Amino acid sequence: MSYVTIVGHGAVSVVTLNRPERLNAISGDLLEDFHHALKQVNDDATVHAIVIAGEGRAFCAGDDLKEFDQQTESDASIRSHIDRIQRITRDLMFNDKPVIGAIHGFAVGGGFEWLLNCDLVVAADDLVCFFPEMAWGQFVTGGVTWLLPQAVGYQRAMELWLLGERHSAQQLHAMGIVNRVVTRELLVDTAIDLAQRVAGLSRLSVSKLKRLVNRDLSTTLAHSLDLEAEATIDAFRNPDAAQRVSAFAKRKSP
């Protein structure tokens, strides 16, 4: 798993995105490695809590625009890419192990969505989150069409999606999206400490709590994931989206 690492800390496993030269942008290989890493720790009975983090200057900068042409070359490639993105949300949420996010730098698009898939979030004070999808003619994934309104309310969720404005760790904390804000240097240690506190609780009680609180995961959220997938596939097929993504990529080229 060259794009994801796993490091154990007793009953806590830290799963780290490891594509720092691309700000951990979402590629096909990263999605595969992330899925297999999450499956490994979810299947490991000695792991009671999971921390997810990102190597380098960002947690995850969203979709890798360099792969857009490859992702959209056929209906099959589009569906495969979207299905693998939605699979990560299922890996994070459709299990009974608590997931603590250690999120820093940029958490954009899919990276922001993975933050919202965590049970608890520790944010670095340099965190910047936003949804660029609407500006690119794309669509959000990760079940956030159901999760985000539950967390912040309908109008605030629509504001985050439609305007795509950048939000700091402090703003996200005020919205109730992140639980702690710490310095970058303390981020991972703080998340591990929090995860170890959770891992020290009754395994049975914690697992039942997550399943009970997320009792709608098998219905409402799962349905939202499917609807998001179809909407995203339609957006990928739209020629307007390709033009918007190409224009954005050219502006960002060195």
| Model confidence pLDDT, tens digit, residues 163-183 | 999 999 999 999 999 999 999
In a domain, 217, yes or no: no
Give the closest residue to 115 by CA, choosing from 104, 125, 155: 104
What band does 254 get if pLDDT is binned at 50, 70 and 90? very low
The number of folded domains in the chain is: 1
Q: What CATH number is associated with residue 134? A: 3.90.226.10
Instruction: Please give the share of the chain, as a percent, with pLDDT higher than 70.
Output: 94
Angle formed by the axes of helices 28-43 and 75-93, to 10°? Answer: 30
- Give the containing element (helix H, strand E) for 43: helix 28-43
Residue 173 is part of which domain span?
4-187
In a domain, 224, yes or no: no
Q: 81 near 46, Cβ under 8 Å?
A: no
pLDDT at 226 > cutoff 50: yes
Q: Return the sign of the alpha-carbon dihedral for residues 249, 113, 223, 33.
A: positive
Q: What SS3 state is found at 108?
A: strand
Q: What pLDDT shows up at residue 67?
A: 80
What band does 155 get if pLDDT is binned at 50, 70 and 90? very high
Residue 65 half-sphere exposure toward CB, CA atoms < 13 A: 20
In a domain, 93, yes or no: yes
In a domain, 139, yes or no: yes
In a domain, 192, yes or no: no
d(CA 251, CA 130): 18
Q: What pLDDT shows up at residue 19?
A: 97
Q: What pLDDT shows up at residue 211?
A: 86
Number of Cβ within 10 Å of residue 30's Cβ equals 23
Active site residues: 113, 133
d(CA 204, CA 227): 33
Amino acid at position 174, single letter: A
Mean local confidence (pLDDT), 138-153:
95
pLDDT at 198 > cutoff 80: yes
d(CA 153, CA 135): 22
Number of Cβ within 10 Å of residue 189's Cβ equals 13
In a domain, 154, yes or no: yes
pLDDT at 160 > cutoff 70: yes
Terminal Cα-to-Cα distance of the chain (whole angstroms): 29
In a domain, 21, yes or no: yes
Q: Which residues, 6+ apart, have CB-to-CB distance to 93 below 8 Å?
A: 99, 117, 143, 214, 217, 221
In a domain, 27, yes or no: yes
Q: What SS3 state is found at 190?
A: helix
Q: 132 near 153, Cβ under 8 Å?
A: no
Q: Write the burial class of residue 101 (CB in 10 Å: 0-12 exposed, 13-18 middle, 19+ buried).
A: buried
Diameter of the chain measured on Cα atoms? 52
pLDDT at 161 > cutoff 60: yes
- Give the containing element (helix H, strand E) for 14: strand 12-17
Q: What pLDDT shows up at residue 25?
A: 96
Higher-pLDDT residue of 122 and 138 is: 122
